[in-house]
Amino acid sequence: MRNLLLRIRYDGAKYHGWQIQKNAVTVQQVFQEALFKVLGETPDIKACSRTDSYVHALEFCISFKTGRVIPCARLAGALNHFLPEDIAVLSCTQVPPGFHARYSCKGKEYIYRIYNCGTRDPFLNGRVLNYRYALDLEQLNSAAAFFLGRHDFTSFCAVDSRRRENMERTVTKSVWARGGDMVTYSVAADGFLYHMVRIMVGTMLRVAQGRLGPEDIRRILSAKDRACAGPTAPAQGLFLKKVFYEDVNSDEG
């Protein structure tokens, strides 16, 4: 059995996230349908994470095992033939038997895009948060810096029915940047909680509005209470940018 790592990219505007659901179209469902057409089987796919509805991925990683001997380059090309235009396979590599797209992951980087202009751009519909009010990047970066390091992110995790886990995460990058009317927040960490990035962005927008000070981020982290943080920013501005692995020793198989 070969263990394969595929890096894919998708526009999530039409999908209810990655993971298969009973009554909604997801990226995993569409991908598995294409995979069956190519391999004639439906392998057990391991995903690096599960993105929410309408969230996008510049890079999303999956792994699966198969006895089929089709070369990686041909497999990627065949999948792209059957996949819709909003999903694409970027690469396919053979990895060691013990590799797992989720459990071998060492970290991820997300970006959140805000179109900071008084007039919306129709060509960015579903791919940015339209925000017409002034954004002071110096103030936003002062707030973002408080997320760096290891913290308990309970205040920045949506409450749901999922099993409670260790809520501590180590953030290695937290920075805002502007390019024209596009303002982008970049954040990298060893892991992320449910809605974590979107709540961080929503809370920092409260700082931009003058309803919180940058130093309030420290207080909110210490509170370990979701009610203390700001609102959850809309999904359409969020992109999974990069998935980090080490010691994969992959080859083109």
The answer to whether residue 148 sits within a structural domain is yes
Percent of the chain with pLDDT over 70: 95
Do 38 and 115 have their domain in common? no
Most distant CA atoms of the chain, gap in Å? 59
Do 145 and 93 have their domain in common? no
8 A C-beta contact, residue 82 and residue 17: no
The answer to whether residue 25 sits within a structural domain is yes
pTM for this structure?
A: 0.93
Q: Looking at this protein, which amino acid is placed at residue 25?
A: V
Do 121 and 208 have their domain in common? yes
| Residue tagged active-site, from 11, 44, 52, 225 | 52
Confidence of residue 253 (pLDDT cuts 50, 70, 90): very low
Give the pLDDT mean for 28-36. 97
The answer to whether residue 15 sits within a structural domain is yes
User: Is residue 75's pLDDT more than 70?
Assistant: yes
* pLDDT tens-digit map of 166-225: 899 999 999 999 999 999 999 999 999 999 999 999 999 999 999 999 999 999 999 999
Do 99 and 111 have their domain in common? no
Q: Please tell me the distance from the alpha carbon of residue 91 to that of residue 80, in angstroms, as a whole number.
A: 11
pLDDT at 35: 97
CATH at residue 29: 3.30.70.580
Q: Quote the domain boundaries for residue 117.
A: 107-241
Half-sphere exposure of 238 (CA within 13 A, CB side): 22
User: Is residue 239's pLDDT more than 70?
Assistant: yes
pLDDT at 162: 54
The answer to whether residue 247 sits within a structural domain is no
Domain boundary among 104, 139, 163: 104
Confidence of residue 248 (pLDDT cuts 50, 70, 90): low
Total domains in the chain come to 2
CATH at residue 209: 3.30.70.660
Domain boundary among 65, 85, 104: 104
pLDDT at 164: 66
The answer to whether residue 137 sits within a structural domain is yes
The answer to whether residue 57 sits within a structural domain is yes
Domain boundary among 70, 104, 138: 104
The answer to whether residue 32 sits within a structural domain is yes
* pLDDT tens-digit map of 108-144: 999 999 999 999 999 999 999 999 999 999 999 999 9
The answer to whether residue 134 sits within a structural domain is yes
Do 191 and 137 have their domain in common? yes
Q: Among this protein's residues, is 160 annotated catalytic?
A: no
Q: Please tell me the distance from the alpha carbon of residue 47 to that of residue 10, in angstroms, as a whole number.
A: 14
